[in-house]
Structure 1
Amino acid sequence: MKKIKTLLITFFMITVSIIMLSGCGKTGTASTNTLESVKKAGVLKIGLEDSFPPMEFRDSNNKLVGFDVDMATEIGKRLGVKTQFVSTDFNGIILALKSGKFDAIISGMNITDERKKQIDFSKPYFMSGEIMIVKNGNTTITKSDDLVGKTVGVELGTTGDTAAQNLDKKLKDKYSKGIKEIKKYDKATDVLQDLQAGRCDVVIIDEPVGRYYTSAPGKKGKYRVLSEKLVSEATGIGFKKDNKELEESVQKAVDDMQKDGTLSKLSIKWFGTDEYKK
C-alpha cells in the first residue's frame, strides 16, 4: 500500500513539473514580438512586400525605398531601436506576422473586417482606395460596367483582388455576364507589366501605386487612371493580436510624426501632395 502511495505521489510530482515547464514554455513564446523583446533586441522588424511603389519598392540600385520605409525607419528611431525590413509575399504576410517572423506589418495594408479577425491594426495613417488602370490609348474602358467580358489583373491577396471579385458578382447580377477572367499576380509590378504587354485589359490596384505608375519617370504616358474609384479604404499598421504595448508605442510615434509635420514631409516627397493637410 505504501509503495502504491509512493508511486502516486511521484507520478503527481512529475505531472506538476511537466505542467509548470509547459507553462514556462508558453510564456516564453508569448513574450516574442512584444515591446519588451523589441527593446531588448534593439531592432524593430517590419514585414513588407517590396514591389509596391511608392509605398515600398526597390530603386535602380536595389535599395529598399518608399513612404512606408521612411515612416517605419523613423518609428524605429523614436522607439530607440533600429528598423529591419523583412520582404515577404503579400499573400502570406499576415501568416508570417502571426508566426513571429516580424513585429509588425507596414506594407500599404488596407484595414478590412476580414483582416481584423486575424490581426490588430493601428489607427489609419493613410487614406487609399481601389482604382482601375488601363493602357494609354485604350478608349473602350471608361467605367466599371465596361469590364464585362474583359480580363482583369490584380495582385494576389490584396483588396484589389477582393474588389475585382465583388465587381464580377455585381456585373453578373446586372448583366448576367461578368468579368471574363481575373488574373492574379504575386507582385504589383508584374500585373502592370502584363497590362502594358496586352495580356490583361485593365488592372485594379491601390490608388497610390496606380497613380505612381501614371506619373513616375519612365512610366508617364504608358497608363491611364479611370476617374471612377471602386472602393475607399484606410491603410494601417498590422500587429499580432493583443500586442497592445507595442501597438500603443508605435501609434504614439506615428501620432507625433503627424503633429510635428514629419508625415507631411514624407507625403510631399513620395506623393507630391500633403495628404495630412487639414
Structure 2
Amino acid sequence: MFDVLEPILTTSGLASMFKLKERYDKTNESTPWVKYSVKPNFYKIRAFELWDNEPKRFFRIYHAPDMNEYLKNTLMSLPEVVKKGTYFIDFQAADYLQIATNIAEILASEEIIQESKATSRLAHTSRFEGLELPDVDVSQEEVLGQTFSWREIIAIWEDNSEQNNLKKVLSQNGIYIQRSEDGKSRYFGSAYGTGGIIGRWMTHLGFLGDAHHLNLYILENGYNSITFSVIEFMEGTNSEIIQKESMWKKTFGTINKGPYNGIQLNKN
C-alpha cells in the first residue's frame, strides 16, 4: 500500500512539508493499513495513513489532541471528511491525490501557519518555564532504537495524561547513552532510582550534563548537538545495574580518566 500512499504524498507536496520519521507497514493485519510517520512539527500532525477498510479505502491524518482548533476545523470542513476523533480525521473519495492536494494547500496558508505557531506548547516546570516544546506522540511504547532530543524529553516528562505510555516506559531503570549526532562523542549512564531513565535524563538537563566530561561537551556544543537513547532496560540491584553500565563503557571505550578530549565523555 505504500506504492499508493507515497506517490500521493509526494505529488501533492505533503511529503516535502514534513520530515519523515518512520514508515509502518501493517498490510498483514486483518484490516490492512500503512503509516507515514513524520517528525515533530508546529501543525502537530503526526502521520498520514492509508487504510484498506472494505469496501473502500480511506485516508487518515493522525494528529495531536491539542492541534490548533482553527486548523482542525478547516481540515474538517473539507467535504471528503467521513469520520473524526480526538486523534484523527478520516477522508474518503474517489481521488485521494485531490484530497492530499487540498490538505497541502490548507497547510501552506500563511494564516494557518501563523495560527499553528501561535499555539505552541510551552513548558511549565519552573526550571524550563516558557520553553517552547515539540509535539510528541506519547501514546507509543517503542523506545529501543529511538533517539530523543532534549526538548522532546521535557515534553514527555511534563505530559501527565493517561495516554503517556512513553513516560511509563522510560521511567524504568536501565542503561542509556547520550551521544553526538555523528556518534563520535559518547556518554553511557545508568538509572536505578526514582524516575528511572527519564528521571535521570531530566537531572542531566537540569545540571548541564551532570558529569565532568559531559558537562564540558555540553558547554562547548550545547544540548542541541546531543541525542538520548535507551540501551537496555534492566531489573536488579543498584550494583548490578552499575556493573552493566561499566560493561557498556568498556565495550565502547568511552572512559577517559585524563584531560577532556571531546570524544570519550565518561570520566570513570
**TM-score, structure 2 length as denominator?**
0.24
**TM-score, structure 1 length as denominator?**
0.24
Computing the radius of gyration from Cα coordinates, the structure with the larger value is: 1
Which of the two has greater helix per residue?
1
Higher relative contact order (CA 8 A, sep 6+): 1
